[in-house]
Chain A
Amino acid sequence: MAVCAAIVGKENSPKFFCCVNPDEELNFQYKVLSSLDIIEEKLNPTNKPGTEIKELYLGMLYSLETCKIYGYVTNTKIKFIIVVDSSNLQLRDNEIRSMFSKIHSEYADMVSNPFYTPGEPITSKLFASSIKNIITGTV
């Protein structure tokens, strides 16, 4: 179970933020923001050839004492970020992957929603609850 998920747009501004514990939101926002540096670096095309990541899933971006941050970037340069509590040891990489994949599906559906203009913050309540269910593992 993750504690936080974020969707960040092409130009690195937040489109959606979901926190299991709303009190920690600001704290996580800082962490997610910082993780963008690493995502950018990982996608940097000037990196040495052969090192670029073919998968959309970027793996763990960095870990802090309290949490681990995972990243996923779509082909359209939309970033999904999941924050997992460091104490949560049973969460395996595969499960993180599957979470991202579900989030991606939700997002693709969101983009097909005529009431959503790509690039705007996502305000759909249905979407918010779906994401929350995904990260809390209730689906």
Chain B
Amino acid sequence: MRSSVSYILSSSTTEPNMSHPDYEQFSHDHAAILILLKHIGSQLKPKTFNKFYDRISKINEVKITDSTGQVRNITVRFVKEHPVENNDWGDFQTHRRLLGLVSLGKYDSQTELNEVCRVHESLKVKYNATLYDSRCVLFGPAKDSTSGSPTDVSSSSEDTSDPKTTVEEYTTPSNFKTRALFYEESSVCSDLENQITEFINSLFWVLESKKLERSREKLERVSLLYAPFEKKDFVGLDMESRQNKKRCTGRMTKHLGDLCLQAGLIAESLQYYTNAADILKGVNDWLWLGAAYEGLAAASALVLYPNMQRNEHFQRIGSLPEGSPKKPNPEAHQNNPTVVRKNIPNVLAPDDISKRYREAIIHYSKYQNAGIIETEASFKAARIAVEQNHALQAASFLQNVVYINLSLSEQEKIQRFETLADLYTQIGFNRKAAFCLRLAATRYVSPQNPNPNWSRCYTLMLQSLSGHKLLLDPIEMQEADQGWAVLQIQILQDLIVAAKRAGYSALATRHMTFLLQTMWPHLSPTEQKELAIQLQSLSVQCEGSPVPLVLDSGVVVPPANLTDIPLCAGFVLRDSKPHLRPKVIEKEKEDTGPFLFTPIHFGTGSLDRRKDKSNPKMDFLWVENEVCEVSLKLINPLPFELKVSNMRLLTSGVVFESVPETIVLPPDVPTSLTLSGWARESGELEIAGYSTHALGVKSNCRLKYMSNTFPFMYKIDVVPGLPVLQISTSLPQSASFSNFHDDNIVTSASVSLYHGEGAQCTVTLTNDSQIPIEMLDVTISSVLEQNLQDEIFRFDEEEVKRLLPLLPDQTATFTVSLYAAANFLAPNTATSPSLPHELNSGLFSSMSTSLPGNSLSRVNSSFRSSNSGHSSLAGGLTALFQQQPISSSAVEAQLKLRYSGGAGLESQHCRTSTVFFMVEMLPSLQVTNWDVMPAETSSQFYLVLDIINLTTQEMELEYAHAKCMLVEAQESCRVPVPVDRCPLSKLSDFYEEYNHSKTSVDVDKICSEHIAEQVNLKWLLNATDSSGLASLKGITLNSRMLDVVRMSPLQWDVKINGDAIHAQEDLSCEAGDCMELQMSIGNSLETSIKELALSVQFYQDYNNGTLNYRMDTRLAIAGTPKKILSVLEPQETASHKCNVIFFTPGLYKMDIQCYTPDGASVSTGPLINTGHVWKFTPPVSIQVK
């Protein structure tokens, strides 16, 4: 916009600069009468002065009726200062002249009054050249309320000062020729406005007369008006030249325009300006042409925008949202002016105003000495553009200001930037405004500034933040996350310097904290390090703490927290140790429901996907008054060691006492830290984060503001206090244990037992808390089947109940019995066909003779080979035993103690502790094979057992009452155990229920149990003094065995030669003798037996496994050896007789048996199933000589 021919029309700058710039000028001020409102004397308080100044300045418009009856609208501008040099430009633009003076002063004494009057007079002298009139407002001392109204002492203006000392004690000095207005400071001064209006009136009339005087001058005769610097340019010029005459006329016309404008004659002034512009253009009088244009524009603006007003310079408050820039509704003004414009000729259109201003400015710019005029014109033009809501226009005018090269004082430069900033703000150019504010701020502390003012600098810097999209609240700042980071960093650094230099150390620390917190990602590692070090040194001056800082201006600087120094990489609430975890006493709910996946449909509105916040509610509980822990993983992002002290948890909800922690973090290595504390109440506890003290700054680091994704806060329920139980056992702890099933294990007990051995374990309970234990619930659990488990582990529930209540610090005990239950039977397949031959067929030969007390170790190997993989047990033992029947095994079990007491019990919570039991079971002995043999008496039978001592010690085995034998380690022995036969009474149920189709297994079972009951193998290991009992539980029997084991349903009575035969008795006779054999059988069942065949048979046993039944040549039987009984009723006895003659000597055996013949029809009993044979046992042997 500036003329490219800059300064060519200016003389060199020897001329002192014309005046001081008045950046506050409006174009409307062209029409105003300038009045200086001056504070004089020292008595009047500035506050009072300002109060009166504000009051008086409100009278800025006065309507005066002139001599022709026309109402003039006279505007007034009051100023507090007016450099007298500015009057020099009064010819150029008359509104620059100071026309009136009102001074305000206070006195308490005559002397003071005299002094005030003297100052006033000297001011009059100072502005003598332009002053039309003056007033002196004097505030006297408080006096009796005799005179209500001020006393007008002076009669008329100027010439007559008539010091009428009426009721006044004080009088103005005689040389005081001003109208003085006396008031009391405290009174309402109700007619002050009238007085001022009257004063303005008087000024108007002087002005009016001057204007008339000028307008009556003949335009051809007028003298040339000069701008101050022009004077010497015209020295010696021919003023009579046509050119200069026109110049004179043009300038005077313009001058008249000014006067008319001031005198309220806008229409006339427009006319004058228009004419002047025409004339001046003709003579290339650029400076004055510019002034004419400016006048034209100003007058037009006055018509178009009569309401344009100087807005009160409001204090911007940084933390408040920036007030929307003043953007008046464009229509509001446009309707009005168009109407007005029609009435007045020569009024410029709105767009032309700017155009004229632009031209004026271009013309001014040709004169270096008119720099201030140009600057002011730019501001005025900008203000009109603002009013026109034409931001770009305004901006271009404002931009022009910066180019104008003025030698200004620092203060004036600052004002210039502040004014620019203000105007930029008004047009919404916040960035530009911020830029200007920064320039102003730097001027305050520039090296050229004789009085650096860091405080002002800081204030302006602070104001400039918003223009750079910097908010004072780090939280809002991070949420907004917009802006020009590179510049923001620099601006913040400047702000910090300003705060530091201004002595606001708390603010310096705060801003530095803010910088690190918000700009961290935009800083280079070096910057991060340097700024962190700077923060450390700043915080030495004043420690940072998370409280808002309030500035004098009312600006609130919110707290800045270093949430990411150190960076929190993990924040985990810790559950208590398993055995201390509170549990709900009611049966714990099984978490069985199927996991349901609910896909959430996000209609994502932006390119980045939403963050997922995890559930903040903990599924475990904390206990009142017990240590609660939170594990943190912290990363120090700085390249040096960072000390973080006073770390505590930030909580809300129930009262929580946090333990401060201090940690030194090495650079870049994640470090774990546990923060702990105690909840002092029960209820819901919210954990929002933690506080730190790092780099000298105290911060409240809340999870929701951290850069890592955490829930806003964690919530956890705190339950009332629970007792703590300490548990020990009398047994040694096991070296290792699996906690696969239960992690509540507090201690363990281990013991080694030989199969069949028992032990006692004393469990000692100590109440370690201050809460009595009122509930104790003990259970044992293991992977074993219940009945086996009960066999191994036993305790008395009543004994446990008697322990309660267990008071604080008390100790109680109870006992757990342990027993090494085992299967002592080798997996035997006695019923299987793969049984060794000897047992089946050779039983009655060699064995029978040597049975009692004899070891049969020679057949061991063949017996053992009968071990086969499948179970010989009817159930009850677990796989544990089946897999390793011989080697040692370990049984694990948990003794669970659920306990509670006090308030915790009331809230239905308890704790669970577990004692881990490990019983190592060593094999003691094993029955590798067994068989049964008839005993000497029919009421008993022999159970023949092959027993192997699996220990490494000598074992004393008591296999039957008072029958002992010693078995070497790893040796076997065969023992016959006399056992009562299974009585029919035990079997009776079975017989009765036969018809309901029971299987023969039941018979096995009954007999097996019978044996297990009857036989107890007591063993004693002398070396370790351990003893135990082996049971034959689960022994299996085949049907042949069963016949031996159980009492026969048939009662035998066999007589030879009339003598009853006794078992094991050897009979002898001579060859050729006739032996009478009488056999009778009785049915001891309660049912009848049908179709029985009773037979006798002889054979010879060669003791080599061969039995010879072909006896035809060796003996002869007289009578039938076989008798068929069609039916045998209960309790009935049937007998049969026959005779036998042996032909040759030898050992014969007689086999007497009873059977149901083949093909015989059904109907026999279960015991007598077809083909079943009962034998009279043992077989009778007869020695024939």
User: Are B330 and A29 in touch, CB under 8 angstroms?
Assistant: no
8 A Cβ contacts from A14-59 to B: 14, 17, 25-26, 29-30, 33-34, 36-38, 40-42, 44, 46, 48
8 A Cβ contacts from B266-305 to A: none
8 A Cβ contacts from B323-345 to A: 327, 330
Asked if B579 lies at the interface with its beta carbon under 8 angstroms from chain A, I say no
User: Are A37 and B330 in touch, CB under 8 angstroms?
Assistant: no
For B468, the chain A residues whose CB sits under 8 A away are 33
8 A Cβ contacts from B452-500 to A: 468-469, 482-487, 490
Instruction: Name the one of A14, A34, A37 contacting B486, with C-beta atoms under 8 angstroms.
Output: A14
| Chain A residues within 8 Å of B, Cβ to Cβ | 11-14, 17, 25-26, 29-30, 33-34, 36-38, 40-42, 44, 46, 48, 62, 65, 117-119
Cα A7 to Cα B567 in complex, Å, equals: 32
For B327, the chain A residues whose CB sits under 8 A away are 46
Asked if B902 lies at the interface with its beta carbon under 8 angstroms from chain A, I say no
| A119 and B607 in contact, given A37-B428, A37-B429 (Cβ under 8 angstroms) | yes
Instruction: Name the one of B395, B435, B482 contacting A38, with C-beta atoms under 8 angstroms.
Output: B395
Q: Lowest 7 A-B CB distances belong to which pairs?
A: A37-B429, A41-B391, A13-B482, A37-B432, A34-B432, A37-B431, A11-B482
User: Are B430 and A37 in touch, CB under 8 angstroms?
Assistant: yes
Per-position binary interface string of chain B over residues 1097-1126, scored 1 when its CB falls under 8 Å from any chain A CB and 0 otherwise: 000000000000000000000000000000
Cα A113 to Cα B396 in complex, Å, equals: 40
For the complex formed, measure the closest distance between the CB of A70 and the CB atoms of chain B, giving whole angstroms. 15
8 A Cβ contacts from B409-453 to A: 424, 427-432, 435
For A34, the chain B residues whose CB sits under 8 A away are 429, 431-432, 435
Q: Which of B392, B429, B482, B483 is the most central at the interface, judged by chain A CB atoms within 10 Å of its CB? A: B392
A-B CB contacts (within 8 Å), total count: 61
Instruction: Name the one of A12, A29, A37, A46 contacting B482, with C-beta atoms under 8 angstroms.
Output: A12
For the complex formed, measure the closest distance between the CB of A56 and the CB atoms of chain B, giving whole angstroms. 18
For the complex formed, measure the closest distance between the CB of A53 and the CB atoms of chain B, giving whole angstroms. 11
For A41, the chain B residues whose CB sits under 8 A away are 391-392, 395, 427-429
| A117 and B484 in contact, given A34-B432, A38-B392 (Cβ under 8 angstroms) | no
| A37 and B395 in contact, given A26-B490, A65-B403 (Cβ under 8 angstroms) | yes
User: Are B395 and A30 in touch, CB under 8 angstroms?
Assistant: no
Asked if B399 lies at the interface with its beta carbon under 8 angstroms from chain A, I say yes
For the complex formed, measure the closest distance between the CB of A45 and the CB atoms of chain B, giving whole angstroms. 13
Cα A38 to Cα B435 in complex, Å, equals: 14
Instruction: Name the one of A13, A65, A118 contacting B607, with C-beta atoms under 8 angstroms.
Output: A118
Cα A26 to Cα B490 in complex, Å, equals: 9
For the complex formed, measure the closest distance between the CB of A86 and the CB atoms of chain B, giving whole angstroms. 12
Asked if B608 lies at the interface with its beta carbon under 8 angstroms from chain A, I say yes
Cα A44 to Cα B389 in complex, Å, equals: 12
Question: Mind listing 22 A-B residue pairs with CB under 8 Å?
Answer: A12-B469, A12-B483, A13-B483, A14-B486, A26-B486, A29-B486, A30-B435, A33-B484, A33-B487, A34-B432, A37-B424, A37-B431, A38-B395, A40-B428, A41-B391, A41-B395, A41-B428, A62-B395, A62-B396, A62-B399, A118-B607, A119-B607
Per-position binary interface string of chain B over residues 233-260, scored 1 when its CB falls under 8 Å from any chain A CB and 0 otherwise: 0000000000000000000000000000
For A117, the chain B residues whose CB sits under 8 A away are 607-608
User: Are A36 and B399 in touch, CB under 8 angstroms?
Assistant: no
For the complex formed, measure the closest distance between the CB of A127 and the CB atoms of chain B, giving whole angstroms. 18
| A38 and B429 in contact, given A62-B395, A62-B399, A117-B607 (Cβ under 8 angstroms) | yes
For A46, the chain B residues whose CB sits under 8 A away are 327
For B396, the chain A residues whose CB sits under 8 A away are 62
For B428, the chain A residues whose CB sits under 8 A away are 37, 40-41
Cα A48 to Cα B427 in complex, Å, equals: 15
For B330, the chain A residues whose CB sits under 8 A away are 48
Q: Which partner residue on chain A sits nearest B481 by CB separation?
A: A13
Q: Which partner residue on chain B sits nearest A40 by CB separation?
A: B428
Cα A25 to Cα B487 in complex, Å, equals: 10
Q: Which partner residue on chain A sits nearest B483 by CB separation?
A: A13
For A14, the chain B residues whose CB sits under 8 A away are 484-486
For B427, the chain A residues whose CB sits under 8 A away are 41
For the complex formed, measure the closest distance between the CB of A17 and the CB atoms of chain B, giving whole angstroms. 8
For the complex formed, measure the closest distance between the CB of A40 and the CB atoms of chain B, giving whole angstroms. 8
For B607, the chain A residues whose CB sits under 8 A away are 117-119
For B487, the chain A residues whose CB sits under 8 A away are 26, 29-30, 33
Q: Which partner residue on chain A sits nearest B395 by CB separation?
A: A38
Cα A34 to Cα B486 in complex, Å, equals: 14
For A119, the chain B residues whose CB sits under 8 A away are 607
For the complex formed, measure the closest distance between the CB of A26 and the CB atoms of chain B, giving whole angstroms. 6
| A33 and B431 in contact, given A41-B392, A48-B330, A118-B607 (Cβ under 8 angstroms) | yes
Cα A44 to Cα B327 in complex, Å, equals: 12
Per-position binary interface string of chain B over residues 386-397, scored 1 when its CB falls under 8 Å from any chain A CB and 0 otherwise: 000001100110
For the complex formed, measure the closest distance between the CB of B105 and the CB atoms of chain A, giving whole angstroms. 47
For A118, the chain B residues whose CB sits under 8 A away are 607
Q: Which partner residue on chain B sits nearest A37 by CB separation?
A: B429
For the complex formed, measure the closest distance between the CB of A31 and the CB atoms of chain B, giving whole angstroms. 9
Known: A11-B482, A37-B431, A117-B607. 4 other contacts (CB 8 A): A30-B435, A30-B487, A37-B428, A38-B429
Cα A13 to Cα B608 in complex, Å, equals: 18
For A13, the chain B residues whose CB sits under 8 A away are 469, 482-485
For A38, the chain B residues whose CB sits under 8 A away are 392, 395, 429
Q: Which partner residue on chain B sits nearest A44 by CB separation?
A: B391
Q: Which partner residue on chain A sits nearest B424 by CB separation?
A: A37
For the complex formed, measure the closest distance between the CB of B554 and the CB atoms of chain A, giving whole angstroms. 27
Cα A38 to Cα B967 in complex, Å, equals: 112
For A30, the chain B residues whose CB sits under 8 A away are 435, 487
User: Are A36 and B490 in touch, CB under 8 angstroms?
Assistant: no
Cα A139 to Cα B486 in complex, Å, equals: 29
For A29, the chain B residues whose CB sits under 8 A away are 484, 486-487
For the complex formed, measure the closest distance between the CB of B726 and the CB atoms of chain A, giving whole angstroms. 59
Cα A2 to Cα B469 in complex, Å, equals: 28
Q: Which of A41, A65, A118, A119 is the most central at the interface, judged by chain B CB atoms within 10 Å of its CB? A: A41
Cα A30 to Cα B435 in complex, Å, equals: 8
Cα A48 to Cα B485 in complex, Å, equals: 34
For B482, the chain A residues whose CB sits under 8 A away are 11-13
Cα A65 to Cα B330 in complex, Å, equals: 33
Cα A89 to Cα B463 in complex, Å, equals: 38
Per-position binary interface string of chain B over residues 154-180, scored 1 when its CB falls under 8 Å from any chain A CB and 0 otherwise: 000000000000000000000000000
8 A Cβ contacts from B844-879 to A: none
Cα A118 to Cα B427 in complex, Å, equals: 31
For A11, the chain B residues whose CB sits under 8 A away are 482
Cα A46 to Cα B327 in complex, Å, equals: 10
Per-position binary interface string of chain B over residues 780-815, scored 1 when its CB falls under 8 Å from any chain A CB and 0 otherwise: 000000000000000000000000000000000000
Cα A48 to Cα B331 in complex, Å, equals: 10
For A17, the chain B residues whose CB sits under 8 A away are 486
Q: Which partner residue on chain B sits nearest A9 by CB separation?
A: B482
For the complex formed, measure the closest distance between the CB of B660 and the CB atoms of chain A, giving whole angstroms. 40
8 A Cβ contacts from B497-519 to A: none
Q: Which partner residue on chain B sits nearest A118 by CB separation?
A: B607
For B392, the chain A residues whose CB sits under 8 A away are 38, 41-42
Q: Which partner residue on chain A sits nearest B392 by CB separation?
A: A41
For B490, the chain A residues whose CB sits under 8 A away are 26
Cα A34 to Cα B439 in complex, Å, equals: 13
For B424, the chain A residues whose CB sits under 8 A away are 37
For the complex formed, measure the closest distance between the CB of B439 and the CB atoms of chain A, giving whole angstroms. 10
Cα A11 to Cα B403 in complex, Å, equals: 31
Cα A42 to Cα B391 in complex, Å, equals: 9
Q: Which partner residue on chain A sits nearest B399 by CB separation?
A: A62
Q: Which partner residue on chain A sits nearest B334 by CB separation?
A: A48
For the complex formed, measure the closest distance between the CB of B390 and the CB atoms of chain A, giving whole angstroms. 8
Cα A12 to Cα B485 in complex, Å, equals: 11
User: Are A36 and B431 in touch, CB under 8 angstroms?
Assistant: yes
Q: Which partner residue on chain A sits nearest B391 by CB separation?
A: A41
For the complex formed, measure the closest distance between the CB of B248 and the CB atoms of chain A, giving whole angstroms. 38
